[in-house]
């Protein structure tokens, strides 16, 4: 493993900061949606806003040399006119300075889903003005923090928030509308290109990439029907983000298929040209599990995502596209996530061979119900999960993939989207009533792995 390899953890502003209405922060779409629907929210979360020094010290003591976090757009930009909130800038300056003082490289995501509500009110990602506003916000961040931050990513997981927000309907704005899904996905990829354009035009130093929820596709057999289902699943789950960001164009067979049922005439040539001209420098891949598929040509479309922790409730069948199936030989979590480290090895090799770009594993981890009211949380299951996935990463490196970092999700317990604080991922336990932190066994284990630079 190269000695510049980045080892750390990843968080997202909404899931850890809390302080949802402090220091002139505007409301985000998640604040609004969870409050309106009276759902468990991240108003306080891990209160990282007031505990970041302690959290970063913990990372340093745990051997981390990098920290992936996101900036909150509604904390930085006050309104649709684009006015800057100096208190938001001041907060992130303190956070970034604290990283640097502790020898931790800041790895910054511009958008981890907390869209300002003032943009959601005028259509959110269905409105191209939101894409232009994102580019303005990105430029404000490059100007404010570009002297200290050299690794940027535009979006966290366009596929995940687009599909959950507009097709499955379990994230705000909770719609079930394929046309809106396509428009949102397009406008987000256009916003990605516009932000990269600002980065290049402003001659900011460093590199800019995108983070994708990467689920490599496997098929149940070698038949031609399964291969077609695999291609459909890959277009649905991966290619529209990765091909577009890395190669500059949407997969043409995907556009052909969508145009059979939907209107895609809004994808105008000048917008496509901007996308083609502004590609990423690297890829951030979040890996939780692969997708195993078979053909699905009769029966209705059914998409249910398991947010309840009730095993076996996931359903993913899209008529004439593919059906996701479970592997009887695999182990699954309560949330139906397959534990399949080999998918990381295969995926890193496939992504590197296809895109020839440096890759960071920007998220990898496992969520459990955990009792943290004990002297030490002995999370052997997390240690074994991380051990096997880091091993898979090293195998991919040995086979030629250019992988430059590993960020576990998450360095400390956070609010989990729609799962609340019951689904814990952290290396450090957070008692959400007292906000006290306590390292789990995995924290000490990870430190040893980092100190030996990945030797298991």
- Which chain residues interact with ligand BGP by CB under 6 A? 12, 15, 156-157, 160, 213, 286, 363, 367, 409, 416-417, 419, 423
Of the two residues 290 and 294, which places its CB atom closer to ligand BGP in the complex? 290
The residues with which 244 forms a beta bridge, in sequence order, are none
Q: CA 430, 431, 436 angle in degrees (round to 5)?
A: 75
Of the two residues 214 and 282, which places its CB atom closer to ligand BGP in the complex? 214
> Quick check: is 345 catalytic?
no
Q: Which residue is nearest to ligand BGP (CB)?
A: 416
Task: Give the shortest CB-95-to-ligand BGP separation in angstroms.
Answer: 18
Of the two residues 87 and 368, which places its CB atom closer to ligand BGP in the complex? 368
182-220 residues labelled b (16+ CB within 10 A) or e (exposed): bbbbbbbbbbbbbbbbbbeeeebeeebbbbbbbbbbbbe
Task: Give the shortest CB-184-to-ligand BGP separation in angstroms.
Answer: 17
> How far is residue 445's CA from residue 187's CA, in Å, rounded to a whole number?
42
DSSP state letters, 437-452: EEE-HHHHHHHHHHHT
> How far is residue 113's CA from residue 82's CA, in Å, rounded to a whole number?
18
Task: Give the shortest CB-365-to-ligand BGP separation in angstroms.
Answer: 7
CB-CB contact of 171 with 417 (8 Å):
yes
> How far is residue 352's CA from residue 358's CA, in Å, rounded to a whole number?
8
Of the two residues 7 and 409, which places its CB atom closer to ligand BGP in the complex? 409
Of the two residues 156 and 235, which places its CB atom closer to ligand BGP in the complex? 156
> How far is residue 61's CA from residue 53's CA, in Å, rounded to a whole number?
12
Of the two residues 69 and 409, which places its CB atom closer to ligand BGP in the complex? 409
Residues in the chain: 456
Query: Half-sphere exposure (CA, 13 Å, Cβ side) for 55?
Result: 31
Question: What backbone torsions phi and psi does residue 300 show, to the nearest 5 degrees?
Answer: -90, 160
In the numeric block, which tokens belong to residue 392?
């898979």
In the numeric block, which tokens belong to residue 66?
């990098």
In the numeric block, which tokens belong to residue 158?
């366009």
Task: Give the shortest CB-427-to-ligand BGP separation in angstroms.
Answer: 14
Of the two residues 251 and 367, which places its CB atom closer to ligand BGP in the complex? 367
> How far is residue 234's CA from residue 156's CA, in Å, rounded to a whole number?
18
Find, among 322, 366, 290, 314, the residue nearest to 168 by Cα. 314
Gyration radius of the chain's alpha carbons: 21
Task: Give the shortest CB-367-to-ligand BGP separation in angstroms.
Answer: 5
Task: Give the shortest CB-335-to-ligand BGP separation in angstroms.
Answer: 6
Q: Order of strands across the sheet with 291-294?
A: 217-219, 291-294, 322-324, 315-318, 302-304
Of the two residues 355 and 417, which places its CB atom closer to ligand BGP in the complex? 417
Task: Give the shortest CB-416-to-ligand BGP separation in angstroms.
Answer: 3
Of the two residues 43 and 143, which places its CB atom closer to ligand BGP in the complex? 43
Task: Give the shortest CB-103-to-ligand BGP separation in angstroms.
Answer: 25
Task: Give the shortest CB-247-to-ligand BGP separation in angstroms.
Answer: 23
The dihedral over CA atoms of 410, 415, 417, 419, expressed in degrees to the nearest 10, equals 110
Q: Is 426 exposed, middle or buried (0-12, 13-18, 19+ CB in 10 A)?
A: buried
Choosing from 139, 157, 323, 363, the catalytic residue is 363
Give the active site residues.
363
């Amino acid at each position: 493993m190269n000695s510049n390899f980045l080892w750390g953890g990843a968080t997202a502003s909404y899931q850890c900061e809390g302080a949802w209405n402090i220091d002139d922060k505007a409301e985000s779409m998640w604040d609004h949606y969870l409050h309106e629907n009276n759902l468990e929210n991240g108003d306080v979360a891990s209160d990282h806003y007031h505990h970041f020094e302690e959290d970063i010290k913990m990372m340093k003591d745990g051997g981390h040399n990098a920290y992936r976090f996101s900036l909150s757009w509604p904390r930085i930009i006050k309104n649709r006119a684009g006015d800057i909130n100096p208190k938001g800038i001041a907060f992130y300056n303190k956070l970034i300075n604290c990283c640097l003082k502790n020898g931790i490289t800041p790895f910054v995501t511009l958008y981890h889903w907390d869209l300002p509500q003032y943009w959601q009110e005028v259509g959110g990602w269905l409105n191209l003005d939101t894409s232009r506003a994102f580019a303005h916000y990105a430029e404000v961040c490059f100007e404010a923090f570009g002297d200290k931050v050299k690794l940027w990513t535009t979006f966290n997981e366009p596929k995940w928030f687009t599909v959950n927000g507009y097709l499955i309907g379990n994230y705000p704005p909770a719609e079930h509308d394929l046309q809106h899904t396509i428009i949102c996905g397009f406008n987000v990829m256009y916003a990605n290109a516009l932000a990269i354009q600002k980065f290049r035009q402003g001659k900011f130093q460093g590199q800019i990439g995108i983070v994708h929820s990467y689920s490599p596709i496997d098929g149940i057999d070698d038949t031609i029907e399964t291969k077609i289902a695999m291609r459909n699943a890959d277009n649905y789950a991966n290619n529209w983000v990765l091909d577009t960001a890395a190669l500059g164009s949407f997969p043409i067979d995907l556009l052909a298929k969508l145009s059979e049922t939907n209107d895609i005439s809004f994808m105008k040539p000048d917008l496509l040209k901007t996308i083609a001209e502004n590609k990423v420098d690297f890829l951030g891949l979040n890996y939780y599990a692969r997708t195993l598929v078979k053909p699905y040509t009769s029966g209705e479309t059914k998409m249910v995502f398991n947010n309840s922790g009730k095993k076996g409730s996931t359903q993913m069948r899209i008529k004439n596209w593919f059906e996701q199936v479970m592997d009887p030989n695999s182990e699954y979590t309560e949330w139906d996530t397959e534990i399949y480290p080999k998918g990381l090895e295969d995926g890193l090799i496939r992504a590197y061979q296809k895109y020839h770009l440096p890759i960071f594993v920007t998220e990898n981890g496992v969520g459990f119900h955990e009792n943290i009211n004990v002297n030490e949380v002995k999370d052997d299951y997390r240690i074994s999960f991380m051990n096997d996935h880091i091993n898979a990463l090293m195998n991919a490196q040995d086979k030629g993939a250019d992988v430059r970092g590993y960020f576990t999700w998450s360095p400390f317990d956070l609010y989990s989207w729609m799962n609340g604080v019951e689904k814990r991922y952290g290396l450090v336990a957070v008692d959400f009533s007292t906000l006290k932190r306590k390292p789990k066994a995995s924290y000490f284990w990870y430190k040893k792995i980092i100190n030996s630079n990945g030797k298991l």
